Structure 1
């Protein structure tokens, strides 16, 4: 089946726009290449300084008192002249000590790290990282007191830097562990927050007399230590109840996070009910065979969860027949609709043609954004699309997800198919200025040429010089040079905060001059009005790529599109499944 027929709209595949510059053609190819990925799965977090901090083990050699710890008797993080962006050159000895210190940190060799610190600390650009690693480890050591004076000294010395914000976040999490809510309130919010910090701040507010609502708790919640503590406290205080926990439990099971789901379930069910929960998770069909018609809310929910787990049966059709014949009449309608939504989701994830049928049994029951997205995808795969059903599924999404270009476009298509031309036009016009795949499709629906932004004025020498003098960007470049991406990426991103379009373009140009091509793309993508496609769709290694592509009869633009999508030109990129290289 041709792609135009697949979505039941015959396109006039004219050659309009084919005379555009090559880099514009590359943009079009890249945008098309990304369409199938949107919303397919939650992104996995990269390895950055924050994740290293979160998973690092405690220090096996605790200090007696925080200020007597020789590891923390370090000079100021930066020499005075560095605070003004003028960094004297490092010495080979300092660089070697710095590399050895990072290795010691990664191997959790804290005594070795402390012995390397005096020499490594003399590096004028990156010396502050050594003190940060030592302080962070001290904060994570539950047997050692908080080194308050050293923390304050470090934050003063690194004021406005990424590491100052990072150590503040680590301090907040450590204070949460010790119940020092006054310190959490005093430290206040951080510039680059995380769920750990957000939940700690809410817990501190709650424990010091400020009213915290269930909505605030559920919005902040992620399955991390401070959030689990906050959630447990709010359940005990009857701030968070079944109406909050039930959708959280269902959403967690939906994405197969069974360990987290069990922890949530333990906040909802009694000991006897948890025994039933464990049994149904192990073998839902066997557990259901022992059950009578449920009467209480916990019993109804347990049966609902068991029925939803039947969707994962190898013979889904037979499982569905059992669910319908034995349990449908005994369960609330909304619960059964949610169960059928789970049958639809599992089928959709397996690209089964029956997914749409299961989803249609779900009626208008609210589901997660994740599930509603797959509901729409399942319907769009049908030989005959029910556009009214597509519209209803999109309208049940949260406002935030509805506003994503992909769903704005398909909502417009659904409106158009149902004869609501003006409503469809409004949808298409709202994303026609978006430089992406669905923005292009919207312009086609409006019978307009795909807009190409005016090329911005070239970055001036003065603008580039200012970017090069930015302390955070300088640190990031040095970190990239050393191959320390987990430190370099957050340092770079933090330094971009508050920049206007011209400053972002200059920062991207700085990255280009240093051959850090992924930062060229990611930085340039942040501009709002001045759009530079030569940065956003940079084409490094041009001669070599073109030559190899032509040898195997491939358009070089397609090769560049694949590289950009998969690795952003990071030569040592490695995926979570082990794929590596460009």
Structure 2
């Protein structure tokens, strides 16, 4: 294995085709950024006069235009010149979006109509400005063009709210109430109220009652009698749906009382909402409520929880039925393709099961690996693509956006640097991606190397996807605590992408994203002299993170899936997520209530298998690492489980 590692870890010191910007250009950029923040246009213009051919100098002109745009100057000619000069760059995309936004606010719809279609990657806001321009021009296609916006559950915002208003005129009352239900499901209450306020006066509910139904459903339900018309009936459905989000059993009890006076479709919908909330709480009665829902209309998210509740109950007929009821796009996702195959297998239909597994087997993700094992093919790393040639490295290294990204990242301007890099590697071929990944690796920009290498479609290099930096620190720490080094790397890759200075929004730090409070707790347990400013030091961070993993393994039956979940969400939650009977690790992973932790566990374990396959050169089993999750902890587990914190602190309360 040592020889393999040396090959993977070897760093080529010659960087082809990537130039280092002069200190003067870096100073000019920093000064320009400060001038832009202060609105000092004069200082920016002087810096522009000093500019040379640094990849950073384009930002000076962009900032100057932004200041002038905010002052409402007429800049049509200047923007046209800048866009021509920066054609195809991220700065051109940003400048064009700024110009469109300002023009739309000024009612200059001709600019919006001419510039909107030229955006390379328009976000929803830009689409909405363009749709507004079409509405202003009386375009009859708005109903079809913007139909996705009506079905979206995102907050509409300044640009999209007028489009929603225009669409509402074309929509039926049914469509308004359905949209309100969808928005309530994601707790976008203001958008739900705004949707219903656009109903004709004779069909609209009372605004005060809608507000009370969403903000205080118990109070609303205590004050109101059985519904007598459609607005009161629909408002009652919203109130019960909102109550289910807070107390699904309370909503269930009220539905039992009110059900006889409600239409069957409403009862079915509410049963599915209650089933959804019960499933998210891992309650055994979830499936009963889904059965009561029958063929009622459900959201895509509710369908996923129908499957998960059936998996928890090992009710394979329900698993298959729930997946069959999904829309075609959702049904084709790897997780539901795999579980549909498993259901077919458990129900004695091996040929149909194999058809499902074959659709995703071999994909380097959690369910692709599991599907491969079902077909008798444990995961193996694909044969590495040919390394990027000197010519390919030179060509990619001279790409304007790559040069800008490298210059920005070298001076610590990480947000802009990452945006430039991601722009550079969009819509490019595999050879460009592999060369970009190799350049990033040589620059020790490990996160960009991984990002680029993961985007390849037919030519893959797992040595770039699954990098092994800091091996001289990680391997001894893993060995010290008796941990699988592949798992430690799989977790670290998911936590920080090997950015040693990474800091999360909640304060987790370093390669293993350790929270300060957790770091102090672990340091005390292992007798490590420690101060808060040491958390991001590589050796200390890895020592603390691996020691914590050892604690989790000791307390959680040596189960990688459980320990990974605990690292992200805290071990106390794990007790609430267990079932009344043993379940396979894949079922446990799929039914974790917190979406972030569910995704995290799958990715950490898939990373682990990929690292093992890459470094050993042997087929690897994901199922063996997942194991079977027992219904209760072993009698030898320490009693302090619920008092232990999470390591990274990123999972939000559920």
- CA distance 1:174–1:247, shift in 2 (3 Å): farther
| Structure 1 unaligned regions, length at least 5 | 1-17, 24-84
- Within a 5 Å distance, the mapping from 1:390-409 to structure 2 comes to 390-409=319-338
Residues 567 and 573 of structure 1 are in contact (CA less than 8 Å); yes or no, is this contact kept in structure 2?
yes
**Match for residue 499 of structure 2?**
570
Deviation (angstroms), 1:163: 0.8
- Within a 5 Å distance, the mapping from 1:164-243 to structure 2 comes to 164-189=92-117, 190-220=119-149, 221=152, 222-223=154-155, 224-235=157-168, 238-243=169-174
Counterpart among 301, 305, 321 of residue 234 in structure 2: 301
Counterpart among 233, 238, 256 of residue 324 in structure 1: 256
- CA distance 1:359–1:96, shift in 2 (3 Å): same
| In 2: Cα distance, 1:323 partner to 1:137 partner | 57
Q: Which runs of 4+ in 1 moved over 6 A?
A: 20-23, 85-89
| In 2: Cα distance, 1:433 partner to 1:365 partner | 36
| In 2: Cα distance, 1:264 partner to 1:344 partner | 26
Helix, strand or coil at the partner of 2:170: coil
Helix, strand or coil at the partner of 2:505: coil
Counterpart among 268, 273, 277 of residue 342 in structure 1: 273
Counterpart among 411, 416, 419 of residue 340 in structure 2: 411
Q: How many matched pairs?
A: 493
Deviation (angstroms), 1:526: 1.0
- Within a 5 Å distance, the mapping from 1:466-505 to structure 2 comes to 466-505=395-434
| In 1: Cα distance, 2:159 partner to 2:405 partner | 30
**Match for residue 539 of structure 2?**
none
| In 2: Cα distance, 1:87 partner to 1:519 partner | 15
Residues 412 and 427 of structure 1 are in contact (CA less than 8 Å); yes or no, is this contact kept in structure 2?
yes
Deviation (angstroms), 1:509: 0.4
| In 1: Cα distance, 2:412 partner to 2:423 partner | 18
Counterpart among 249, 253, 274 of residue 180 in structure 2: 249
Structure 2 residue 303 is the aligned partner of structure 1 residue 372 = yes
Report the aligned-residue RMSD. 2.8
| In 1: Cα distance, 2:412 partner to 2:236 partner | 52
Structure 2 residue 60 is the aligned partner of structure 1 residue 127 = no
Residues 392 and 432 of structure 2 are in contact (CA less than 8 Å); yes or no, is this contact kept in structure 1?
yes
Deviation (angstroms), 1:506: 0.7
Deviation (angstroms), 1:511: 0.7
| In 2: Cα distance, 1:525 partner to 1:160 partner | 23
Deviation (angstroms), 1:230: 0.9
| Structure 2 unaligned regions, length at least 5 | 7-15, 512-654
Residues 444 and 450 of structure 1 are in contact (CA less than 8 Å); yes or no, is this contact kept in structure 2?
yes
List per-residue Cα deviations over 1:278-305 (Å, max 9, x = no partner): 1112321221233233243322211100
Helix, strand or coil at the partner of 1:289: helix
| In 1: Cα distance, 2:144 partner to 2:347 partner | 36
Deviation (angstroms), 1:331: 1.4
Residues 311 and 319 of structure 1 are in contact (CA less than 8 Å); yes or no, is this contact kept in structure 2?
yes
Helix, strand or coil at the partner of 2:146: helix
Q: TM-score scaled by structure 1?
A: 0.78
- CA distance 1:293–1:157, shift in 2 (3 Å): same
Q: Which has the higher contact order (CA 8 A, sep 6+)?
A: 1
Deviation (angstroms), 1:93: 4.1
Q: TM-score scaled by structure 2?
A: 0.70
Helix, strand or coil at the partner of 2:198: helix
- CA distance 1:305–1:159, shift in 2 (3 Å): same
- CA distance 1:90–1:522, shift in 2 (3 Å): closer
